[in-house]
A and B are shown apart, each in its own frame.
Chain A
Amino acid sequence: MRRILTIEYNKLIGYRAFWVLPGIYAILMLLFFRIFTRLDMIQVNGERVPIESILRMEKVWHYLTWFAGFFHYLFIALIILLIGNEMRNGFWRMAVTSGLRRVDLLTGKWLVMGILSLFSTAIVLLVGYLAAGFAPVDIPDTAFPLQLATLFFLQAFCYIQFGLTAGIWLERTGLGILLVLLYAMAGEPLIGYFLPTAIKEWLPLNVFASLIPNPVLEDVGLGTSAITTGLALTRSAVWLALLGGLAWLKVRNTDL
Chain B
Amino acid sequence: MNIILKTENLSKRYGAIQALDGLSLSIPRGSVYGILGPNGSGKTTALGIILGAIRANSGSWSWFGDEPGPEHLRKVGSLLEKPNFLPYLTGERNLKIVADIRGTGYDSIEPALVKTGIYDRRKSNFHTYSLGMKQRLGLAAALLGDPEVLVLDEPTNGLDPQGIYDVRQLIMDEARCGRTVILASHILDEVEKVCTHVAVLSKGKLLAQGTTAELLKSADVIEIAADNLDKLQSVLEKNTLVKKIVRNGNILELTVDPATPMERITEPVARAGLSATHLLRRATKLESRFLDLIKGDN
Contacts and interface: CB of A to CB of B under 8 A. Distances in A.
Please classify the interface of chain A as helix (H, G, I), strand (E, B), loop, or mixed, using the class held by over half of its residues.
helix
B100 A97 contact: no
A86 B80 CA distance: 16
Interface in A58-103: 85-86, 89-91, 93-101
Interface string B113-149: 0000000000001000000000000000100000000
B59 to A, nearest CB: 15
A interface residue count range (under 10 / 10 to 19 / 20 to 34 / 35 or more): 20 to 34
Contacts of A255: 48, 53-55
A99 B71 contact: yes
B74 A99 contact: yes
B82 A99 contact: no
Contacts, number: 87
B interface residue count range (under 10 / 10 to 19 / 20 to 34 / 35 or more): 20 to 34
Interface in A9-36: 10-11, 13-16
Interface string A193-204: 000000000000
Nearest to B51: A97
B101 A98 contact: yes
A150 interface: no
A13 B93 contact: yes
Contacts of A48: none
Interface string B75-93: 0101010111111111001
Contacts of B73: 96-99
B102 interface: yes
A97 B53 contact: yes
B98 A91 contact: no
Nearest to A253: B55
A224 interface: no
Contact of A90 (B70, B74, B84, B103): B84
A98 B54 contact: no
A90 B82 contact: yes
A95 B87 contact: no
Interface string A214-256: 0000000000000000000000000000000000000001011
Interface hub of B86, B89, B96 (most chain A Cβ within 10 A): B86
Given A13-B93, A97-B78, A98-B74, A86 B86 contact: yes
Contacts of A89: 84-87
Nearest to B89: A14
Interface in B30-72: 48, 51-55, 70-72
B89 A6 contact: no
B217 to A, nearest CB: 35
A16 B86 CA distance: 13
B4 interface: no
Contacts of B84: 89-91, 93-94
Nearest to A252: B55
Contact of A100 (B54, B70, B88, B141): B70
B241 interface: no
B97 interface: yes
A91 B84 CA distance: 6
B100 A6 contact: yes
A7 interface: yes
B80 A10 contact: no
A91 B85 contact: yes
Contacts of A15: 86, 88-89
A255 B19 CA distance: 13
A85 B80 CA distance: 19
Interface of A: 3, 6-7, 10-11, 13-16, 85-86, 89-91, 93-101, 253, 255-256
21 contacts: A3-B100, A6-B100, A10-B96, A10-B100, A11-B97, A15-B89, A90-B82, A91-B85, A93-B53, A93-B84, A96-B51, A96-B52, A96-B73, A97-B53, A98-B98, A99-B73, A99-B103, A255-B48, A255-B54, A256-B53, A256-B54
Interface of B: 48, 51-55, 70-74, 76, 78, 80, 82-90, 93, 96-98, 100-103, 125, 141
- Nearest first, the 4 closest Cβ-Cβ pairs linking A and B are A90-B84, A99-B74, A94-B84, A99-B73
